[in-house]
Structure 1
Amino acid sequence: MQYEILHRPVFSTLDIRLNAQEQVIARPDSMLSMSTGILISTTISQTGKKPGWWSGVKSVAGGQSFFTAVFTAKRDDQQLTLAPQDYGDILTLTPEGENGYFLARGSYLAHLGDCQLALKYGGMKGFMAKTGLFFLHATGAGSLFCQTRGAILEKRLEDGENFVIDNRYIVAFSDTVQYQLVKATTSAKDSLVSGEGLVNRYTGPGIVYYQTRAKPPTSFFGVLLSSAT
């Protein structure tokens, strides 16, 4: 199996070449085009297996779709092209054994190979940071692809080094990185006027990947502020 990311960084697509019986697991509605020798099936999992209903509930709580699509090649030399939901780039991650990554809400696009995905409880801080009650945790061996909004930025953190990022811009981070919800301003008035309320503080060692654009605000105060400015 071979893959290539084309048309980056704004209109990126993931082009994959498959031989017989090779599979790609991807989020629903991500298929742009494919050869006729590819079979599509669905499952309530990011692993291609059929888990219990609780896994589906956790997927929704973590901002992931209840279903995933499984693309299986019926013969050699088949082409599958996937596209993100928005304008932006595609981030490639390669977990190595137990050294993996946590994916932010909605950033999962697809994965290849023996990449193991599991939903991990993020606690109240994950909920308050609007990243969902559960994080998608990727380990094992394989290639994992994340969709982004805008370009991809990377911050490498040394042991004990801190870095603050607005949680709307987070794409993924090493599972060795610790995160904590903190206030960006000292008062509610400053939060409303500046548009900066709660942010995440990340502590190394590890890598944090984030994007240059975020989805428009959906909260009442966010929409009100956007209208006023």
Structure 2
Amino acid sequence: METKIDGGILPVLRVWLQPGERLVAETGELSWKSPHITLHTTMSGAGNSGILGAVSRALAGGGLFMTEYVAEGAPGLLAFAAKMPGHIHEHTLDGHRSYLVHRHGFIAGTDGVKLELGFQRRLGAGLFGGDGFRLQRVSGYGTFWTELGGEVVMHDLAPGEQIDVHPGHVGMFEESVQFDITMLPGIRNKLFGGDGFFLARLTGPGRIWLQTLTLPNLAGALAPFLASAKA
């Protein structure tokens, strides 16, 4: 298998499969492929089997179904284009390190990659984190790819080091990073600050990937122009 990520802020991931090699992706991610690539929609992809595994994956922000791609009889090409301005990243799993990815971040993975609901360590994160904390847990062996919005800032947190982040800007992080929800101080900040009531508090050790663009912010920036176009 060979891979290449082309482009800048609107990238595309291209994957060349050898005969018999396979890749599993979220449904609706495919942009183009060669004729020797066959596809099969299944509920049992990404390390899950049966309805319970599919439901767990769906609760994390994915779908009930995954699409499995296989090169039949000859090498073949697959391509996955970004759905919003941002960057595509490639990650390697060694069976020991797992990642938590925001609900729309996972694109595809090789055999051995498992995608499931990322359970919250603390109840507060699940109750007040909003869509930013509907997380996908990626584990197992192999390679997987993520799409994060806007520019991506990677930061390595030392043991005990903390950073407070708007939940939507948390792109992904190593599972060794602890996270919780903290409330903004001051009534005026809460009511008039425009930043919501809560921030995500990430505590090291581990690497975090922060994204500068979120889908709600992009939609909010476009909304006035869409409204005027309808008028």
**TM-score when scaled to structure 2?**
0.85
User: Stretches of 4+ moved more than 3 A in 1?
Assistant: 131-135
Higher helix share: 2
> Which structure 1 residue ranges, 5 or more long, are not aligned?
none
**Quick one: distance in 1 between partners of 2:64 and 2:191?**
34
Residue aligning to 2:129? 129
Given that residues 63 and 132 in structure 1 are in contact (C-alpha distance below 8 angstroms), is that contact kept between their aligned partners in structure 2?
Answer: no
**Quick one: distance in 2 between partners of 1:128 and 1:163?**
18
1:27 to 1:98, Cα distance in 2 relative to 1, 3 A? same
**Quick one: distance in 2 between partners of 1:60 and 1:202?**
25
* 1:68 Cα offset (Å): 1.3
Provide the aligned length of Structure 1 versus Structure 2.
Answer: 220
Matched position secondary structure for 2:96: strand
Q: Residue by residue, what CA displacement relative to the aligned partner does 1:58-78 show, whole Å, maximum 9, x if unpaired?
A: 223221122111111102321
Residue aligning to 1:66? 64
Residue aligning to 1:211? 211
Residue type at the aligned position of 1:43: T
> Which structure 2 residue ranges, 5 or more long, are not aligned?
none
Q: Percent of aligned pairs with the same residue?
A: 23
Residue aligning to 1:16? 15
Residue aligning to 2:143? 143
Indicate whether 1:27 and 2:23 are aligned.
no
Moved more, 131-140 or 89-98: 131-140
1:213 to 1:132, Cα distance in 2 relative to 1, 3 A? closer
Residue aligning to 2:98? 100
Q: Residue by residue, what CA displacement relative to the aligned partner does 1:12-69 show, whole Å, maximum 9, x if unpaired?
A: 11000011111111111111110001111112244165x2222232223221122111
Q: Residue by residue, what CA displacement relative to the aligned partner does 1:107-158 show, whole Å, maximum 9, x if unpaired?
A: 1111124223332322452342124786322222211111111121101000
1:114 to 1:185, Cα distance in 2 relative to 1, 3 A? same
1:207 to 1:71, Cα distance in 2 relative to 1, 3 A? same
* Pairing partner for 1:112 from 107, 110, 113: 110
Residue aligning to 2:54? 56
Residue type at the aligned position of 1:201: R
**Quick one: distance in 2 between partners of 1:134 and 1:190?**
25
* 1:205 Cα offset (Å): 0.3
How well do the aligned residues superpose, as a CA RMSD in angstroms? 2.6
Moved more, 173-182 or 141-150: 141-150
**Quick one: distance in 1 between partners of 2:157 and 2:2?**
31
Residue type at the aligned position of 1:35: S
